[in-house]
A and B are shown apart, each in its own frame.
Chain A
Amino acid sequence: DTAVSQTPKYLVTQMGNDKSIKCEQNLGHDTMYWYKQDSKKFLKIMFSYNNKELIINETVPNRFSPKSPDKAHLNLHINSLELGDSAVYFCASSKDGGLQPQHFGDGTRLSIL
Protein backbone atom coordinates (compact mmCIF):
# COMPACT_ATOMS: atom_id res chain seq x y z
CA ASP A 1 0.00 0.00 0.00
CA THR A 2 2.94 2.33 0.70
CA ALA A 3 3.18 4.92 -2.06
CA VAL A 4 6.87 5.82 -1.76
CA SER A 5 9.01 3.31 0.08
CA GLN A 6 12.66 3.59 1.01
CA THR A 7 15.01 0.95 2.33
CA PRO A 8 16.71 0.73 4.69
CA LYS A 9 15.06 2.96 7.31
CA TYR A 10 18.29 3.15 9.33
CA LEU A 11 21.85 2.80 8.08
CA VAL A 12 24.81 2.89 10.44
CA THR A 13 28.22 2.46 8.87
CA GLN A 14 31.86 3.41 9.06
CA MET A 15 33.58 6.30 7.34
CA GLY A 16 35.00 5.32 3.97
CA ASN A 17 32.38 2.65 3.22
CA ASP A 18 30.11 2.59 0.17
CA LYS A 19 26.37 2.24 0.69
CA SER A 20 23.12 2.36 -1.29
CA ILE A 21 19.61 3.49 -0.44
CA LYS A 22 16.71 2.18 -2.50
CA CYS A 23 13.49 3.98 -3.38
CA GLU A 24 10.39 2.72 -5.12
CA GLN A 25 7.08 4.44 -5.87
CA ASN A 26 3.85 2.74 -6.92
CA LEU A 27 2.00 5.95 -7.83
CA GLY A 28 2.81 5.85 -11.54
CA HIS A 29 4.68 9.15 -11.25
CA ASP A 30 7.23 10.21 -13.84
CA THR A 31 9.46 12.36 -11.63
CA MET A 32 11.45 11.26 -8.60
CA TYR A 33 13.69 13.19 -6.22
CA TRP A 34 16.32 12.77 -3.53
CA TYR A 35 16.53 15.24 -0.65
CA LYS A 36 18.93 15.55 2.28
CA GLN A 37 17.61 16.78 5.64
CA ASP A 38 20.28 17.90 8.09
CA SER A 39 20.23 17.90 11.87
CA LYS A 40 18.52 21.32 11.87
CA LYS A 41 15.73 19.92 9.67
CA PHE A 42 16.79 21.91 6.62
CA LEU A 43 15.67 19.99 3.55
CA LYS A 44 17.69 20.40 0.36
CA ILE A 45 17.11 18.91 -3.09
CA MET A 46 19.96 16.73 -4.34
CA PHE A 47 18.70 15.16 -7.56
CA SER A 48 15.61 15.02 -9.71
CA TYR A 49 14.87 12.40 -12.37
CA ASN A 50 12.13 12.46 -14.98
CA ASN A 51 11.40 9.21 -16.82
CA LYS A 52 14.80 7.80 -15.85
CA GLU A 53 16.68 10.91 -16.99
CA LEU A 54 18.54 13.28 -14.70
CA ILE A 55 17.03 16.77 -14.80
CA ILE A 56 18.42 18.38 -11.65
CA ASN A 57 21.76 17.83 -10.03
CA GLU A 58 22.36 20.35 -7.29
CA THR A 59 25.80 20.95 -5.87
CA VAL A 60 26.36 17.47 -4.56
CA PRO A 61 29.74 15.73 -4.31
CA ASN A 62 30.27 13.23 -7.10
CA ARG A 63 30.54 10.54 -4.42
CA PHE A 64 26.74 10.58 -4.65
CA SER A 65 25.38 8.82 -7.73
CA PRO A 66 21.69 8.31 -8.39
CA LYS A 67 20.58 5.40 -10.54
CA SER A 68 17.15 4.98 -12.09
CA PRO A 69 16.65 1.48 -13.56
CA ASP A 70 13.03 2.34 -14.43
CA LYS A 71 10.69 5.21 -13.70
CA ALA A 72 9.36 3.59 -10.52
CA HIS A 73 12.80 3.32 -8.91
CA LEU A 74 15.49 5.84 -7.99
CA ASN A 75 18.37 4.50 -5.94
CA LEU A 76 21.12 6.53 -4.31
CA HIS A 77 24.63 5.18 -4.11
CA ILE A 78 27.19 6.90 -1.92
CA ASN A 79 30.93 6.17 -2.17
CA SER A 80 33.58 6.83 0.46
CA LEU A 81 31.16 7.97 3.15
CA GLU A 82 32.21 10.96 5.27
CA LEU A 83 31.06 12.17 8.69
CA GLY A 84 29.24 15.09 7.05
CA ASP A 85 27.05 12.67 5.12
CA SER A 86 25.17 11.85 8.33
CA ALA A 87 21.60 13.02 7.72
CA VAL A 88 18.15 11.80 6.83
CA TYR A 89 17.71 11.15 3.11
CA PHE A 90 14.24 11.40 1.61
CA CYS A 91 12.97 10.09 -1.67
CA ALA A 92 9.93 11.74 -3.24
CA SER A 93 7.91 11.53 -6.44
CA SER A 94 5.41 13.66 -8.33
CA LYS A 95 3.34 13.63 -11.49
CA ASP A 96 4.58 15.48 -14.52
CA GLY A 97 3.40 18.85 -15.69
CA GLY A 98 4.16 21.19 -12.83
CA LEU A 99 1.85 22.41 -10.08
CA GLN A 100 2.05 18.95 -8.58
CA PRO A 101 2.50 18.03 -4.92
CA GLN A 102 5.36 15.74 -4.02
CA HIS A 103 4.89 12.46 -2.18
CA PHE A 104 7.63 11.56 0.25
CA GLY A 105 8.98 8.34 1.66
CA ASP A 106 9.64 8.06 5.39
CA GLY A 107 13.34 8.67 5.02
CA THR A 108 16.59 6.79 5.62
CA ARG A 109 18.57 7.91 8.65
CA LEU A 110 22.25 7.55 7.78
CA SER A 111 24.75 7.65 10.63
CA ILE A 112 28.47 7.60 9.96
CA LEU A 113 30.72 6.38 12.76
Chain B
Amino acid sequence: SQQGEEDPQALSIQEGENATMNCSYKTSINNLQWYRQNSGRGLVHLILIRSNEREKHSGRLRVTLDTSKKSSSLLITASRAADTASYFCATDTSGYSTLTFGKGTMLLVSP
Protein backbone atom coordinates (compact mmCIF):
# COMPACT_ATOMS: atom_id res chain seq x y z
CA SER B 1 0.00 0.00 0.00
CA GLN B 2 1.12 3.56 -0.53
CA GLN B 3 3.45 5.11 1.98
CA GLY B 4 2.35 8.75 2.14
CA GLU B 5 -1.12 10.12 2.75
CA GLU B 6 -1.69 13.85 2.37
CA ASP B 7 -4.32 15.78 4.25
CA PRO B 8 -6.45 17.62 3.30
CA GLN B 9 -7.25 16.26 -0.15
CA ALA B 10 -8.18 19.76 -1.28
CA LEU B 11 -7.62 23.22 0.16
CA SER B 12 -9.05 26.52 -1.04
CA ILE B 13 -7.68 29.83 0.32
CA GLN B 14 -7.35 33.50 -0.59
CA GLU B 15 -4.14 35.11 -1.78
CA GLY B 16 -2.02 36.24 1.13
CA GLU B 17 -3.20 33.48 3.46
CA ASN B 18 -1.01 30.62 4.63
CA ALA B 19 -1.57 27.07 3.42
CA THR B 20 -0.68 24.01 5.48
CA MET B 21 -0.63 20.50 4.10
CA ASN B 22 0.09 17.37 6.10
CA CYS B 23 1.58 14.04 5.17
CA SER B 24 1.55 10.83 7.18
CA TYR B 25 3.52 7.70 6.38
CA LYS B 26 3.77 4.18 7.70
CA THR B 27 7.36 2.91 7.82
CA SER B 28 10.76 4.32 8.74
CA ILE B 29 12.24 6.66 6.17
CA ASN B 30 15.64 7.93 5.11
CA ASN B 31 14.22 11.22 3.82
CA LEU B 32 10.96 12.82 2.79
CA GLN B 33 10.46 15.10 -0.20
CA TRP B 34 7.73 17.50 -1.27
CA TYR B 35 6.84 18.08 -4.91
CA ARG B 36 4.47 20.43 -6.72
CA GLN B 37 2.52 19.54 -9.86
CA ASN B 38 0.86 22.22 -11.94
CA SER B 39 -2.04 21.11 -14.12
CA GLY B 40 -0.82 19.19 -17.18
CA ARG B 41 2.83 19.33 -16.11
CA GLY B 42 5.39 17.11 -14.43
CA LEU B 43 6.31 17.20 -10.76
CA VAL B 44 8.76 19.80 -9.54
CA HIS B 45 10.93 19.17 -6.49
CA LEU B 46 10.42 21.66 -3.63
CA ILE B 47 12.24 20.47 -0.52
CA LEU B 48 14.03 17.37 0.78
CA ILE B 49 14.21 16.80 4.54
CA ARG B 50 16.37 14.08 6.03
CA SER B 51 15.12 11.81 8.79
CA ASN B 52 17.46 13.46 11.33
CA GLU B 53 16.17 16.96 10.53
CA ARG B 54 13.12 18.53 12.13
CA GLU B 55 12.55 21.63 10.06
CA LYS B 56 13.68 23.11 6.76
CA HIS B 57 12.98 26.38 5.00
CA SER B 58 13.13 27.47 1.39
CA GLY B 59 11.79 30.91 0.55
CA ARG B 60 8.08 30.93 1.51
CA LEU B 61 8.11 27.19 2.17
CA ARG B 62 8.59 25.58 5.57
CA VAL B 63 8.67 21.83 6.04
CA THR B 64 8.60 20.03 9.37
CA LEU B 65 9.21 16.37 10.07
CA ASP B 66 8.18 14.41 13.14
CA THR B 67 9.56 10.89 12.81
CA SER B 68 7.99 9.80 16.12
CA LYS B 69 4.55 10.55 14.66
CA LYS B 70 5.58 9.58 11.13
CA SER B 71 4.28 12.85 9.78
CA SER B 72 5.41 15.93 7.90
CA SER B 73 3.84 19.25 7.10
CA LEU B 74 4.38 21.78 4.32
CA LEU B 75 3.55 25.40 5.07
CA ILE B 76 3.33 27.94 2.26
CA THR B 77 3.25 31.47 3.65
CA ALA B 78 1.69 34.49 1.96
CA SER B 79 0.24 32.36 -0.81
CA ARG B 80 -0.13 33.59 -4.37
CA ALA B 81 -2.46 32.57 -7.19
CA ALA B 82 0.60 31.00 -8.87
CA ASP B 83 0.86 28.54 -5.95
CA THR B 84 -2.31 26.84 -7.23
CA ALA B 85 -1.21 23.25 -7.88
CA SER B 86 -1.22 19.76 -6.42
CA TYR B 87 1.34 19.07 -3.72
CA PHE B 88 2.74 15.61 -3.07
CA CYS B 89 4.88 14.18 -0.34
CA ALA B 90 7.19 11.31 -1.22
CA THR B 91 9.07 9.05 1.14
CA ASP B 92 12.44 7.46 0.48
CA THR B 93 12.94 4.45 2.72
CA SER B 94 16.21 3.24 1.23
CA GLY B 95 18.14 6.48 0.81
CA TYR B 96 18.68 5.62 -2.83
CA SER B 97 15.99 7.91 -4.25
CA THR B 98 13.31 5.23 -4.62
CA LEU B 99 10.25 7.31 -3.85
CA THR B 100 6.74 6.35 -2.80
CA PHE B 101 4.23 9.13 -3.40
CA GLY B 102 1.02 10.01 -1.61
CA LYS B 103 -2.18 11.04 -3.40
CA GLY B 104 -1.53 14.73 -3.04
CA THR B 105 -3.31 17.86 -1.83
CA MET B 106 -4.94 20.11 -4.42
CA LEU B 107 -4.38 23.74 -3.44
CA LEU B 108 -6.47 26.52 -4.98
CA VAL B 109 -5.40 30.08 -4.24
CA SER B 110 -7.95 32.67 -5.31
CA PRO B 111 -6.92 36.25 -6.12
Contacts and interface: CB of A to CB of B under 8 A. Distances in A.
Contact of B104 (A41, A94, A104): A41
Nearest to B95: A98
Given A41-B103, A42-B2, A98-B95, A106 B31 contact: no
Chain A binding site: helix, strand, loop or mixed by DSSP? strand
Interface in B58-111: 86, 88, 92, 94-101, 103-104
Chain B binding site: helix, strand, loop or mixed by DSSP? strand
What bracket does the count of chain A residues touching chain B fall in?
Answer: 20 to 34
Contacts of A35: 101
Given A98-B30, A99-B31, A31 B41 contact: no
What bracket does the count of chain B residues touching chain A fall in?
Answer: 20 to 34
A57 to B, nearest CB: 12
A102 B50 contact: no
B33 interface: yes
A42 B2 CA distance: 9
A112 B77 CA distance: 41
Interface of A: 4, 31, 35, 40-45, 48, 56, 90, 92, 94, 98-107
